[in-house]
Amino acid sequence: MLGMPESFSLPADLAGLGLAEIARLAEQRRLPPVEKWNPAHCGHSQMRIARDGTWFHEGSPIGRPAMVRLFSTILRREPDGRFVLVTPAEKLDIDVEDAPFVAVEVTSEGEGRGRRLAFRLNTGDLVVAGPERPLRLDARPYLLVRAGLEALVARPVYYELAEIALAEAGNRRGVWSDGAFFPMEGTA
């Protein structure tokens, strides 16, 4: 797969991994340098990403997860807010109904300020929340994945975060990850 070492594979779930191992796996994933590619705009890809994270081409769901993962590596957000699929040779628009990714699983290690939260996205990507990849825990919670691309935090994952916040409730309700505090909206 483009941008991924041949030997890279993700475990079935994050439950059996420590955060150090998850961080190592996330670092191994090499993405193409889409921010450096500036080909001429070539039109529309006839693709869209639905609110639930399902990728479609010409109205039909893309059934091969490997294809979705491949396309996700060449996804970029333009300064004007549009989403594009970009290669060195072409740039095609793609419609995104909400966020291009969905955070479908979370694992936590540590407590309070020492906590680290790692998320698995619907594409298999691993993201550790922190100062560089903040969580926005509003009415619709999001995690910054990279350069203007966010993941909607799935409801079950949000509930896990809420449980952490309630268990550690102090003056402010929210969660810590990698040294950063992320407040939950509407909480004191």
Local confidence band at 33 (pLDDT 50, 70, 90 cut-offs): confident
Q: What fold is seen in the domain 101-180?
A: duf1285 protein fold (2.30.270)
Section 10-35 average pLDDT: 58
> Mean of the per-residue pLDDT values for the chain?
85
* CA 133 to each of CA 4, 83, 130, 153, 178: distance values in angstroms, whole numbers, following the listed order: 21, 19, 5, 13, 10
pLDDT surpassing 70 at residue 32: yes
Q: Strand pairing partners for 150?
A: 144
Q: Report the length, in residues, of the chain.
A: 188
- In the chain, ranges of CATH 2.30.270.10 domains: 101-180
Q: Taking the model in full, what pTM does it have?
A: 0.81
CATH superfamily of 30-96: duf1285 like domain (3.10.540.10)
In which residue ranges of the chain is CATH 3.10.540.10 found? 30-96
pLDDT tens readout for residues 77-94: 999 999 999 988 899 999
Q: Higher-confidence residue: 122 or 185?
A: 122
Model confidence at 27, pLDDT cuts 50, 70, 90, reads low
Asked whether 119 and 151 are in contact (CB, 8 A), the reply is: yes
pLDDT at 138: 83
